[in-house]
Amino acid sequence: MPSFRLHTILFATFASITVLLTGTIIFFHTMSIKEQTANAITEWGKSISLSAAPIIVDYILEEDYAGLEEVVLGYSTTPLVLHALITDPDALILADSQFSEIGNHLPLLTSGAFLRQDAKADSYVEQQENAFTVTTPILFEEKLFGYVHVTISKKLFLERSQLLKKKSMQAGAFWALLSLFFSWFLAGRLTRSLEMIAGSATQIADGSYRLGPRQKGIVEIENLCDSLQNMSLTLEERENRLLTERERLSVTLRSIGDAVITTDIDGQITLMNRVAEALTGWSQEEVLGTSLEQVLRITDKTSGEVCESPVKKVLSSGLVEYIDNKTLLTDRQNRERTIADSAAPIRDKDSRIIGVVIVFRDVTEQHMLEQEILKMKKLESVGVLAGGIAHDFNNILAAILGNINLVAQDKELGEKSRKLLDSAEKASLRAKNLTQQLLTFSKGGEPVKETSSIADIIHDSAEFVLHGSNVICNYTIPEDLWLVDVDKGQIGQVIQNIILNGRHAMPEGGTIEVHCENISSEQIQGTLYAPAADCIRIRIKDTGKGIPSDIIDHIFDPFFSTKQKGSGLGLSICSSIIKKHSGMITVQSVPGKGTEFIVTLPASGNVQKITKEPVTSIKSLPGARVMVMDDEELVLNVAEAMLTTLGQDVILVQNGSEALKVYQDQMKNGAPVDVVIMDLTIPGGVGGKEAVQDILAIDPEARVIVSSGYSNDPIMANWSQYGFIAALTKPFQLADLAKVLGMALQGREKRS
């Protein structure tokens, strides 16, 4: 159906009504004029007839037909009278103004249409095409004597009718035009008012609530404008409150540290905060009205199956549903995160569910940390176990290696037997290195430093790691490389870790280059890559795949690993060890070409080249009284034999309490102990840490040496802080014992 403007409709309606009313009025007015004219003519005809009624009665009674003719001829001379007749009651023509019908009967009267009327009936008017015929009864004293028939011309009637019709049409046209103008004006007025109201409604719909001045002139329109203005102000106030509340809610949601997504009951997203945007990779503008499943893609971390929609679960149960922390969220870039939290129904004031709110958080790091803590606990357990094994194994090795040294002192030993002893000694030393690896793995304490050749540590570590692999190692180590004060076991672990990483980077085989050099303090002054002193620099370079630039800054971070089964602790421990040695470790890498680790360590103040002193060259020691405390009988026996070989008097005890008692007794008996060698750990008894304090309390001049198979114990690294004068690491050889004992007895004669 076509549309029209309201102004057109109103104007057409008013115009139609006006024309219809005007036409109706003209029609009825014309009909009324016609009727009035006809009545006037009839009355006129009657008056003509009745004016001569007494004379006519006389002429009829006298049968004076000539008189009757004079009467009708008198009628015919009247203007507009065309014909006049006088008949008797039976319609017999008695007189005719035209003399043509005398003696005949009138057809109308003959038909009885008028004769059947009462004699007292009023006049009868018959209309012809151009005339009226008025038939009037001739009554005298209520007796009917006949009829007068007067035919009157319609000319005057028609002229008057046309004139009246013309005037009516003119008046109607005038009033119609006036009405149309008024209709146009009124329609325009109403239309402008309604257009203003419609404009105000559109303005309100567009969010502008400050309306213009109201339309005046029509009370109802004024009231409507007032109501519209009040409504707009109310809407503005409510919208401002809603906007304020929405802003507060938005700020609150965006300030929440967890991700928040809300949906309607169809699972279509209605709101998403910034954290949710960050975790899913989608912005709120992109996903409004989108199904939650398209944005929150979650799967079971264990089975890999797609998880049921939280919205469906909440709508089904009507309760809060918790998301398992083993759930994986795949974001827009197909990156996976571990998430956990809950989904809850949103209810209206009637407690009907109108949506669902999902609150979740990224627990990836937490989950990784939990896994790493579990790994750490496992490593700690293994480390404790390894430390215990190494401690016990070192006690056994102390007995083995000590006895080998003692047998080797036999000058009558044959060449073949000596070779066998040398092999046994080498095997024992390898076992010692193995226990050192176990102790290093247990990650205990500060480094126990001794002046060492880094070249020997590098060779031993590289051969140990690369044994049986298809990777070869080339060395560039100058003969005059400075010595370093290091913990051999810990530095060996660093070298092993670096070379092991290089081996893993070259699964098809390759070459590792090891280059060492002396760096003077003048060469490194002002740099950040070495200690501010003379040092040595070790470069270990592989030809593997290299380290990507986006992760190279994290390789020394704890728990960081690119290996599926790695703990992420190897290089972190290496960095820690080098820092404890006051050194530096850095890395350089070119993806696709290889990686180079650079280790810098301070040079030792002892510039003498280390020479392995053979057992046969042990210097003679002054005789002394030496007390040995250890809970292992094997260690006590071999220590007694070794000390006896060195010409010492030996006292054996098994715990700190016994050592203190014997020490006191020896002092009382005038045979004080010159040197005490104490095991650090005594299961179920007083160990060296406590016993040394008790002995020093009664003899501040006591010379006590600490001994332990757990070389990474902090006391072994910082023995002087605990009252000891030296440390002897198990398993020790005869030369080691002689060296430490000689230092302890230096400048001190045997106390009597």
Distances (CA, A) of 120 to 50, 124, 136, 154, 279: 13, 12, 10, 27, 115
For range 665-684, the mean pLDDT: 90
Residues 633 and 687 in one domain: yes
For range 255-271, the mean pLDDT: 87
Residue 97 maps to a domain? no
> Nearest-5° angle of CA 469, CA 474, CA 480?
140
DSSP 373-405: HHHHHHHHHHHHHHHHHHHHHHHHHHHHHHHHH
Whether the pLDDT of residue 653 is over 50: the answer is yes
Mean pLDDT of the chain: 79
Residues 582 and 668 in one domain: no
pTM for this structure? 0.47
For range 376-394, the mean pLDDT: 68
Write the Ramachandran bin of 127: left for phi over 0, alpha for psi from -120 to 50, otherwise beta: beta
pLDDT of residue 112: 44
221 confidence band (pLDDT: 50, 70, 90): low
Whether the pLDDT of residue 701 is over 70: the answer is yes
Q: Do residues 694 and 656 touch, judged by C-beta distance below 8 A? A: yes
Give the list of residues 6+ apart from residue 124 with CB closer than 8 angstroms, or none. Answer: 114, 117, 134, 135
Structure tokens at 34: 């016609």
Final residue belonging to a domain, choices 609, 633, 660 = 609
Residue 180 maps to a domain? no
Peptide bond into 548 cis (omega under 30): no
What whole-number distance in Å separates Cα of residue 580 and Cα of residue 485? 12
Residue 50 maps to a domain? no
Residue 116 maps to a domain? no
pLDDT of residue 556: 73
What whole-number distance in Å separates Cα of residue 553 and Cα of residue 547? 10
How many domains are contained in the chain?
Answer: 3
In 3D, which of 370, 390, 371 has the Cα closest to residue 382?
Answer: 390
Residues 586 and 660 in one domain: no
What whole-number distance in Å separates Cα of residue 451 and Cα of residue 449? 7
Furthest C-alpha separation in the chain: 215
Q: Which residue has the higher pLDDT, 654 or 49?
A: 654
Residues 622 and 732 in one domain: yes
Whether the pLDDT of residue 209 is over 80: the answer is no
Residues 620 and 481 in one domain: no
Residue 178 maps to a domain? no
pLDDT of residue 89: 83
pLDDT of residue 115: 47
Whether the pLDDT of residue 394 is over 80: the answer is no
Final residue belonging to a domain, choices 362, 391, 406 = 362
* 289-333 pLDDT per residue, tens: 889 888 888 888 778 888 888 888 888 888 888 876 678 888 888
Residue 639 maps to a domain? yes
Structure tokens at 260: 């928040």
- Enclosing domain of residue 656: 616-745
What whole-number distance in Å separates Cα of residue 646 and Cα of residue 744? 14
Distances (CA, A) of 420 to 350, 417, 736: 95, 5, 21
For range 73-78, the mean pLDDT: 79
Residues 529 and 638 in one domain: no
Residues 577 and 471 in one domain: yes
pLDDT of residue 569: 52
484 confidence band (pLDDT: 50, 70, 90): very high
Residues 666 and 690 in one domain: yes
Residue 333 maps to a domain? yes
What whole-number distance in Å separates Cα of residue 727 and Cα of residue 718? 9
* 558-614 pLDDT per residue, tens: 655 655 444 445 677 788 788 888 899 898 988 888 999 999 999 987 655 555 444
Alpha-carbon dihedral angle through residues 388, 391, 397, 401, given to the nearest 10 degrees: 170
Q: Which residue has the higher pLDDT, 441 or 316?
A: 316
Q: Which residue has the higher pLDDT, 183 or 266?
A: 266
Residue 667 maps to a domain? yes
For range 553-557, the mean pLDDT: 73
DSSP structural state of residue 685 = S
Q: Within 10 A of 363 (CB to CB), how many other CB atoms are there? A: 18
Residues 582 and 624 in one domain: no
Whether the pLDDT of residue 197 is over 80: the answer is no
Q: Within 10 A of 522 (CB to CB), how many other CB atoms are there? A: 7
Final residue belonging to a domain, choices 362, 390, 413 = 362
Residues 633 and 730 in one domain: yes
Secondary structure of residue 177 in the 3-state scheme: helix
Q: What is the CATH number of the domain that holds 348?
A: 3.30.450.20
